[in-house]
A and B are shown apart, each in its own frame.
Chain A
Amino acid sequence: MTDLSLLNQVTAFINTEADMLDFQEYNEWLGLWSDTGVYVVPVDPKETDFANTLNYAYDKAEMRRLRVNRLLSGEAVSTQTTDKTVRGLSRFRILEDSDSHVTVRCAMYLSECRHGNLKSYPADVTYKLARTGNDFQIEEKVVRLQNADAYLSSIGYIL
């Protein structure tokens, strides 16, 4: 039987993360991560060996910091033309629950508006969350875009 209390806790955590990203609170977002955490957007949604294959993003702590710097620096013209993203997460399901970690899978519907054009990026997102007292830290976040294996357009934000 689903642990509704735990489901509520992880849902609240993940929704907060989503809100931070939509409102570009990127430095605060960095604080949600464990030092060893990895952020991955694979090219092949079926892939599991991310280190040895090509991804759209494969960010350990340093690359996450650099990505955030790039997005906030004002130096990257592509980040200036996406007005805003709006994402909703739903279909939360706990896949694994141990003393140290909780693994959660959910659906994400993200829309962006760039140069006045609305575009959407649906994805399955899996979070491996490390338990830290009453809270969590992200140990792994894998964003499997529905069209990852086809072609994308510029993504000037964090999925």
Chain B
Amino acid sequence: MSNKIDVKNIAADYESMVKPDKVHTSLYSNPEIFEEELDKIFNNTWVWVGHESEVPEVGSYKTAMIGRHSVIVSRDRKRNIHVLLNRCRHRAATVCEGKKGKTKSFMCPYHGWGYSLDGALRAIPKPEEYEGVFDKSELPLISLRFETYQGLIFATFKEDIQPLEEFLGGAKKWIDLFVKQSGGFPLKVLGDHRFRFPGNWKIQLENTTDAYHFPIVHKSFVSSVDEQTADIFDFLDGEGHVEDLGNGHSVMVMIPELVDLEHDLEAPIPERFQDLADELAAEGHSDLEVRRMVRAVGGSGFNLNLFPNVACSMAFFRVLAPVSVNETEIHHVALGGEGAPAAFNQMRLRLHEHFQGPMGFGTPDDAEAWERVQKGSQAGNEEWILLNRGQNHLTTSPDGNVSGAVCSETGMRAAYQQWKKMMIA
């Protein structure tokens, strides 16, 4: 066979493994490729580590992963944000084991080295033995370069990387639209669902730009909602599209009428949100405020896939962390409004619980499909993963981007071309 891949000596022929319309099956399961991905992709680009609302106050922190690197996102006494490597400068123990919380400092449990919220080394027990060896100012927690856009915090190990906004490029417009879903209040993280599945991280990356699976995999979810909502989710034959936004990013518009949540505020209140509208009105909110919240409460009508590890997915952030070549951790981050009425945020939480997470009506079925992909992809030696759906019906979007049908694999092709570019570089 002329297109045989030498999977044992992969070091490798990425050009031949990623075609415009298919990728080689070993991309899901070859441990050498995985190790190289950590280095060439996760160590080499902007990786999402959090949202500013997760570190709201002086002393707030959260931990996150960049590939295998544990990092701390903290807010110092001057309210500045830092992204710090979670590793004591002495003997490398982690200095923070919490998921999130508030602290005054980070203390290494091994020998008691203490670091302030900005990473500066402040305290060393019995310092006299270091006299003339080093000065504390030389050994702060290692600080990573980070930049934010609309409150989304991205960090990088690559010092000379292009500015974040340049990297996001065509995706910025969609982030601007996505953050409108907090109903006139600042966007706020309300919590997250965390789960793992036995499969490669790219299977999840693909899924956020895969509308094709929705009516099949999520039949039981659609059966659980009212007729009006089921019609909204019946989007495969609608006017949606998938657009390649460059740098591996893509947007999949499933529900075009919910792209801009500040438009059409005069539209009738959907039946399923009538009780919420009545409750908000009874609390004294104006008709405009109520309409803005009700229109926003269900989230945006699109999934924005940002390469490599985060998606702005309808009503939540989907974050992926590669654990090993065949294990991936997913966080589904619930969003609401800071200072928004309790009824609004409660509805956001209940909608999130309905679909997302390990006990949701949607996620477990997704995870089942992904697990089966990983398992099935082990069969055969020279098989390929097809990405050619919709490739003969491409158009140019108003923004000048390659665009395909809502259930095309345009977004996956975009992600894999970026993958190839980074792996070859």
Contacts and interface: CB of A to CB of B under 8 A. Distances in A.
Interface of A: 41, 43-44, 51-58, 63, 66-67, 69-70, 73, 75-79, 81, 115, 149-156, 159
B223 A73 contact: yes
A9 to B, nearest CB: 30
A154 B350 contact: no
In this complex, the member of A44, A54, A56 whose beta carbon has the largest number of chain B beta carbons within 10 angstroms is: A54
Given A43-B192, A81-B368, A152-B194, 19 more contacts: A54-B349, A56-B193, A63-B354, A66-B361, A67-B361, A69-B223, A73-B220, A75-B219, A76-B219, A76-B220, A76-B365, A77-B217, A78-B365, A78-B368, A151-B329, A153-B196, A154-B358, A154-B368, A159-B359
Nearest to B192: A54
Main secondary structure of the interface of A (DSSP, over half): loop
How big is the B interface, by class? 35 or more
Contacts of A56: 193, 353, 357-359
Given A152-B194, A153-B196, A70 B361 contact: yes
Interface in B326-361: 329, 334, 342, 345-346, 349-350, 352-354, 357-359, 361
Nearest to A70: B220
Interface string B362-400: 011101110100000000000000000000000000000
Nearest to B334: A54
A153 B195 contact: yes
B144 to A, nearest CB: 24
A154 B363 CA distance: 8
Contacts of B342: 52
A152 B357 CA distance: 9
Interface in B53-67: none
Interface in B172-210: 190-197
In this complex, the member of B191, B219, B350, B359 whose beta carbon has the largest number of chain A beta carbons within 10 angstroms is: B359
Nearest to B345: A52
A156 B361 CA distance: 9
Contacts of B329: 151
Contacts of B91: none
Nearest to B98: A149
Main secondary structure of the interface of B (DSSP, over half): helix
Nearest to B342: A52
B203 to A, nearest CB: 14
B99 interface: yes
Given A53-B349, A54-B190, A54-B349, A153 B224 contact: no
Nearest to A74: B220
Nearest to B367: A154
A87 B199 CA distance: 28
A63 B197 CA distance: 26
A54 B345 CA distance: 10
A153 B359 CA distance: 9
Nearest to A58: B353
A70 B342 CA distance: 29
Contacts of A159: 359
B352 A150 contact: no
Contacts of A156: 364, 368
In the A-B complex, the 6 residue pairs with the smallest Cβ-Cβ separation, listed nearest first, are A54-B191, A154-B364, A78-B364, A76-B220, A75-B220, A151-B194
